[in-house]
């Protein structure tokens, strides 16, 4: 039976192009943050709106977060050295953690100020100026989020993803601020302005939780998505000389995917022939994932040592049906009569 061809996921660009796109978008992010701070500081001085204060505070923290991202992506792009043999890619996750902490702090500050203004409401002055600044902020932020979305399609950068999530939350928050400013300045309801500030605080808190989870997953070596692992296994098994894949392990380090696995080969092959098969398998993976760092160990078929799987993993002697679709081994049988390839306990 001829093995099914490996799926062709969107191929990321070479790592140099991805790093260049990431550096460009982080410079743009810093510039936008400076422009928004200037506009909102002017609007706050003119209006005294707690909603404007909330969004100004958030923009100041946006600047700090964008600066952290600016430097983090440059450090993460540095090549491996003697002390960091896997590179510096996880610097992006550290930047995302910094962003999450700043967003949490912003949410607490804005929430506290909003509660105080609910019990001690103050009128919003110069409402026309405030509304104009908020509308301009919405337009600029929407443009930045669009540019970041384009950059993410090229790079997959975790730091840029965190920055985009931050500005996307700002975009929604600015819409709430606009409602609050209009209510306080033109409807004579300053309490609504304070309530809008509280809504912004809750929105930021929720966004920070998402950023924190993404960064933690990265730092804790969460496996690549199921579709990517299946594509990698199928790319290796498209060679009929490879009769099985096990102990497949993946993790992300910035934009690079670390891939390790064992493959089953004919025990009578020479070392040179086995090496050639492994190199060809690595090249097939790299054709789909050009930034991958790959390590493949060749085992003689039928004599490979097996690592004891976790308690909840079915053993080869007593298999049990998977309980969810994600637990199904998507790896095809490469040839009639060969051993069924299995995912290892770390796949």
What is the pLDDT, as a whole number, of residue 125? 58
Distance between CA atoms of 236 and 284, rounded to whole angstroms?
A: 7
Give phi and psi for 245, each to the nearest 5: -130, 130
What is the pLDDT, as a whole number, of residue 126? 56
What is the pLDDT, as a whole number, of residue 21? 75
What is the pLDDT, as a whole number, of residue 327? 32
How many helices and strands, by DSSP H and E, does the chain display? 8, 3
Q: Which residues of the chain fall short of a pLDDT of 50?
A: 1-13, 308-347
What is the pLDDT, as a whole number, of residue 4? 46
Residue 246 per-residue DSSP state:
E
**Residues 138 and 174: beta-carbon distance below 8 Å:** yes
CA-CA distances (angstroms) from residue 85 to 81, 82, 88, 248? Answer: 6, 6, 9, 21
What is the pLDDT, as a whole number, of residue 16? 64
What is the pLDDT, as a whole number, of residue 292? 86
Render pLDDT for 8-43 as a digit per residue (tens, 0 to 9): 444 444 566 667 777 788 888 889 889 988 888 887
- Entry pTM: 0.56
What is the pLDDT, as a whole number, of residue 218? 80
Residue 165 in tokens: 């999530």
């Amino acid at each position: 039976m001829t093995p099914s061809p490996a799926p062709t996921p969107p191929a990321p660009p070479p790592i140099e192009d991805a790093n260049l796109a990431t550096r460009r978008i982080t410079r743009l992010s810093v510039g936008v943050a400076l422009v928004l701070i200037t506009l909102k500081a002017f609007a706050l001085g003119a209006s005294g709106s707690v909603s404007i204060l909330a969004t100004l505070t958030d923009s100041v923290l946006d600047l700090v977060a964008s600066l952290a991202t600016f430097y983090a992506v440059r450090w993460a792009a540095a090549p491996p050295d003697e002390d960091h043999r896997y590179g510096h890619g996880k610097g992006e996750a550290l930047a995302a953690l910094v962003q999450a902490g700043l967003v949490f702090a912003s949410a607490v500050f804005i929430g506290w100020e909003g509660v105080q203004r609910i019990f001690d409401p103050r009128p919003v002055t110069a409402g026309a100026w405030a509304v104009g600044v908020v509308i301009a902020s919405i337009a600029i932020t929407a443009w930045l989020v669009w540019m970041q979305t384009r950059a993410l399609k090229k790079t997959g950068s975790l730091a840029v993803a965190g920055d985009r999530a931050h500005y996307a939350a700002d975009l929604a928050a600015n819409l709430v601020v606009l409602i609050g400013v209009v209510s306080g300045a033109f409807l004579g309801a300053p309490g609504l302005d304070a309530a809008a500030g509280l809504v912004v605080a809750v929105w930021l808190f929720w966004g920070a939780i998402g950023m924190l989870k993404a960064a933690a997953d990265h730092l804790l070596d969460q496996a690549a998505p199921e579709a990517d692992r299946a594509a990698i296994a199928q790319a290796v098994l498209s060679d009929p000389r490879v009769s099985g894949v096990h102990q497949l392990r993946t993790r992300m380090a910035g934009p690079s995917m670390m891939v390790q696995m064992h493959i089953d080969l004919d025990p009578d092959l020479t070392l040179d022939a086995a090496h050639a098969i492994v190199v060809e398998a690595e090249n097939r993976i790299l054709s789909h994932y050009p930034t991958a760092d790959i390590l493949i160990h060749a085992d003689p078929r039928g004599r490979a040592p097996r690592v004891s799987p976790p308690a909840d993993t079915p053993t080869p002697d007593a298999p049990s049906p998977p309980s969810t679709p994600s637990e199904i081994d998507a790896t095809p049988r490469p040839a009639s009569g060969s051993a069924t390839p299995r995912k290892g306990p770390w796949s």
